[in-house]
Amino acid sequence: MNPLSRGLLRFWLGAKLGRTTPPAPGNAVPVTFPLDRVKIATVQWNAEPVGAVEDWSRRVTRFFEEAADTHCHLLAFPEYMPLSLLGVVMPERTSAHTLTDATIREVLGALAPPSFRFWYRWMSSLSRQYHLVTAAGSALTWDRGRLVNTGIIFDSQGQERVRQGKWHLTPEEIRWGVAQADSPPSAPLSPWGLTTLVCNDATYPESFRLIASQGARIAVVPIADADARYTAGKARRGCFSRVQDVPMVGVVSAATGRLFGLHLTGKAGIYLPAPLTDDGSGVLAESHLSVGEELISGVISLDRLAWYQERYRAEHPMPPTDFLTALYGAEGDH
């Protein structure tokens, strides 16, 4: 793909997206949020390419409406939210699923700016319209010449409050030219200690240790797992496992469906340390199927979490500093 083609593709997508604008936000309304019991809604999203921009915006708006109607405080969306918008310039019937890695790399790089802008504008606007704190999922954006998969959280006034790049890439992302983020963790949003880690970052206990040290108590993990075969075992390796060993609230929002040759599976879920759930399962809420679209919700108690964290720290103290320094201080990198 030559520079002219890339430029044209970017212009074409920008023009198509520019025709659909989010509703004009009303006046800012002061919103009081609870300090203890927080109602969380999280989305399982059908990420298949859309034929029309309105299809994407209508479905996103519907999730905001449903979350607001059911008195939720926080709404979470999955990884790579804007990617299905690429369908308006690259329909699946054009054999987009046969693209080589090199072409995908060029397409993603070229189309990241308009799709990121569109996603950002809509999420910010709808957060403000529906007075919801929104973990908007993630999208690709250029950051100092590097293409980074970036999660963003907006407050209920539509202001960006958390921006977190993905630290640990998948092999596919590396092939597609995505760069790993090097920025330290973003400060969690008060008063809940809300932050986000993108997908594969939840594979690493270290990432949860790091955000916990910053005061995080609710971690939203947007995912888009390119794995055609969903199993509970594979799903439990991420956010679910992390919140057992580094106690906090884990919220997973999942992209599913066929997307440019990938078969995404996953479940949206709200996970807690097992002793904080009535049935001891560690699962507060979870979507029924590993494909399709659904909104799930649940109420968590930050006071109970604080009580449990204190008890847990006493029973499972962190290793001493010299142990950790020796462990992570070794020369070389893994």
Distance from C-alpha of 227 to C-alpha of 303, rounded to nearest angstrom:
37
Closer of 95 and 213 to other proteins (Cβ): 213
Of residues 33-92, those binding other proteins (CB under 8 A): none
Does 237 bind other proteins (CB under 8 A)? Our answer is: yes
Closest approach of other proteins to the CB of residue 334, in Å: 4
Distance from C-alpha of 123 to C-alpha of 56, rounded to nearest angstrom:
12
Does 180 bind other proteins (CB under 8 A)? Our answer is: yes
Query: Which span sits near other proteins by CB under 8 A: 82-90, 130-138, 296-304, 319-327?
Result: 319-327
Closer of 16 and 146 to other proteins (Cβ): 146
Does 274 bind other proteins (CB under 8 A)? Our answer is: yes
Single residue of 34, 91, 191, 319 touching other proteins by CB under 8 A: 319
* Alpha-carbon distances of 319 from 116, 149, 324, 328, 329, rounded to whole Å: 41, 32, 7, 12, 14
Q: Could you tell me where the beta strands, DSSP code E, fall in 176-314?
A: 194-196, 218-223, 249-259, 262-264, 269-271, 283-286, 294-301
The string over 205-237, giving b where at least 16 C-beta atoms fall within 10 Å of a residue's C-beta and e elsewhere, is: eebbebbbeeebbbbbbbbbbbeeebeeeebee
Single residue of 184, 191, 261, 292 touching other proteins by CB under 8 A: 184
Distance from C-alpha of 111 to C-alpha of 65, rounded to nearest angstrom:
29
Single residue of 6, 55, 59, 244 touching other proteins by CB under 8 A: 244
Count of residues binding other proteins (CB under 8 A)? 51
Q: Could you tell me where the beta strands, DSSP code E, fall in the chain?
A: 37-46, 74-76, 133-143, 146-154, 160-165, 194-196, 218-223, 249-259, 262-264, 269-271, 283-286, 294-301
Does 310 bind other proteins (CB under 8 A)? Our answer is: no
Does 203 bind other proteins (CB under 8 A)? Our answer is: yes
Closest approach of other proteins to the CB of residue 317, in Å: 8
Does 332 bind other proteins (CB under 8 A)? Our answer is: yes
Q: Amino acid identity, residue 97?
A: H
Residues contributing to the site for other proteins (CB under 8 A):
167-169, 171, 180, 182, 184-185, 200, 203-206, 209-210, 212-214, 229, 231-234, 236-237, 240-241, 244-246, 274, 280-282, 315-319, 321, 323-330, 332-334
